[in-house]
Structure 1
Amino acid sequence: MTLWQRIQQFLEAAGERTLGALMEVVRARKARRDEAVFSIALIALSAKMAKADGFVTDEEIVAFGDFFAFPPEEASKVRMVYNLAQEDVAGFDLYAKQVGELFGDEPTILEDVLDCLFHIALADGVMHPREMELLRAAAEAFSISPAQWRRISAAHLGADKDDPYAVLGLSQDVSDAELKKAYYKLVKDTHPDTLIARGVPAELVKISEGRMAAINTAYEKAIAERKAAV
């Protein structure tokens, strides 16, 4: 059964065509490493980030498809969840909180979701103030640490790019051994195989590319600074 067939099952189980009903099914059936659960949560939040004009445009669907590949014949399922999210009266904060609770015992998945939301916000090449507000709201709902926030934003916005320790979530006085240990842990957590094991759909593993690049650059810079200081 494909990912999109699984999503269709959740849509059918919801019965009532509302995002609230769909999310209740997702929360009730939530299972570790379930691609459909991750995908529905992400689609719902990304739709809430879209312009609140009451419509889902083809451009918005294309932007989502830029990093979350889906067959053309499955676009209707993505559009349906988008429509449910945009028609629902509840705001972004409520669903961000629900997603935070859904994956509360799996914080690395919440970091993956926030990483994806950054991709969506920057789909048009610009980070709008309102989008940044929603990203920060999601980070708060997901209990994202300052170190995690700096690391993710660095991958997308270049923030803190001059401070490698901020990107790695470390203080500058860590030992060489601690620096190396933290780096290898981040690399392992960001590896595509690890993401798939967490339930991130294979179509989405490329979200790790920007994060991995930021981590590698920060580590190399930290090592170079330490060698220069000797």
Structure 2
Amino acid sequence: MSIWGRFGDFISRVTAGAVSGVSDVVEAVRTAFEGDPELRRKVAFSIAMIALSAKMAKADGIVTQDEVRAFHEIFAVPQEQQRNVARLYDLAMTDTAGFEAYAERMARLCGSGAPNCQMLEDILDGLFHIAKADGYLHEREVAFLRRIAEIFVIDEGRFEAILARHAMTGPDDPYVVLGVTRDAPFDEIRARYRKLVAEGHPDRLIARGVPEEFVAIANDRIAAVNAAFEAIERGRVSA
């Protein structure tokens, strides 16, 4: 059974009971998939992306068709499972619990506690992908995402690098994208570039619990990292 089949069965079963919000769903993941950590990570990632997308939609007060399209670029949801995805999305939209409490639970479930947890960066990257879909990162969306990063124990430098990859106004600073200083030796920059490409490879994402259906996140990340390195390389050669 695909991740969506297992996800759909789980959401149908949980929401058929007495759940007061997404936090109850998160706690149910912990026990329902206790014997299968890999599947638990994949279901947890899917829930995090769907529910935090809904919370982010409330951050700027409007859900645009571009954001819906971007959502479906990341979520290749089979027709028969779209109702379950919509059910979770609507539950998160109407949940009175604040996004911070929910994000804290999700961080624990995804294995946070170590700075710059890679799977949690994947979630943040996906949220940026959706937020920028209308061609503009609203200041309330950036504030929302920055707070999510703090809860996920993603440090300021890593957050700024992710923000630079997704920035919609002005020229992106390739040095910020790669997380290196402007006076860094080129060998150091190249080593950093190769590390980021390796971390962002779709196989790496899948290995840490990101379902196969979400490789759009990896493709966007690698494209931005490649462009940043090429810009720096051109600048160093012409200098």
Find 2:173's aligned residue among 163, 166, 183: 163
Flag as ranges the 4+ runs of structure 1 deviating above 6 A: 56-60
Verify: 1:115 aligned to 2:122, yes or no.
no
Distance in 2 between the 1:125 and 1:218 partners?
20
2:28 matched residue in structure 1: 25
2:100 matched residue in structure 1: 93
- Distance 1:58-1:157 versus aligned 2 partners, 3 A rule: closer
Q: 2:158–2:179: 8 Å Cα contact kept in structure 1?
A: yes
Distance in 2 between the 1:60 and 1:117 partners?
10
Name the SS for the 2:133 alignment partner: coil
2:45 matched residue in structure 1: 38
Aligned-residue CA RMSD in angstroms? 2.9
Any idea what the Cα deviations from partners look like across 1:160-197, whole Å, max 9, x if unmatched? Answer: 84532211111233333322211111001111121122
Q: 2:196–2:225: 8 Å Cα contact kept in structure 1?
A: yes
Paired residues in the alignment total 229
Shift of 1:204: 1.0
- Distance 1:170-1:62 versus aligned 2 partners, 3 A rule: closer
Distance in 2 between the 1:163 and 1:57 partners?
28
Distance in 2 between the 1:185 and 1:63 partners?
27
1:144 matched residue in structure 2: 154
- Of stretches 164-173 and 110-119 in structure 1, the one that deviates more from structure 2 is 164-173
Q: TM-score, normalised by structure 1?
A: 0.86
Q: TM-score, normalised by structure 2?
A: 0.83
Distance in 1 between the 2:156 and 2:163 partners?
10
2:228 matched residue in structure 1: 218
Q: How does 1:1-230 map to 2 (within 5 A)?
A: 1-11=1-11, 12-13=13-14, 15-17=17-19, 18-28=21-31, 29=33, 31-32=37-38, 34-51=41-58, 63-103=70-110, 104=112, 105=114, 107-158=117-168, 161-229=171-239
Shift of 1:107: 0.8
**Aligned-residue identity in percent:** 45
- Of stretches 41-50 and 26-35 in structure 1, the one that deviates more from structure 2 is 26-35
Name the SS for the 1:70 alignment partner: coil
Q: 1:154–1:214: 8 Å Cα contact kept in structure 2?
A: no
Q: Which runs of 5+ in 2 are unaligned?
A: none
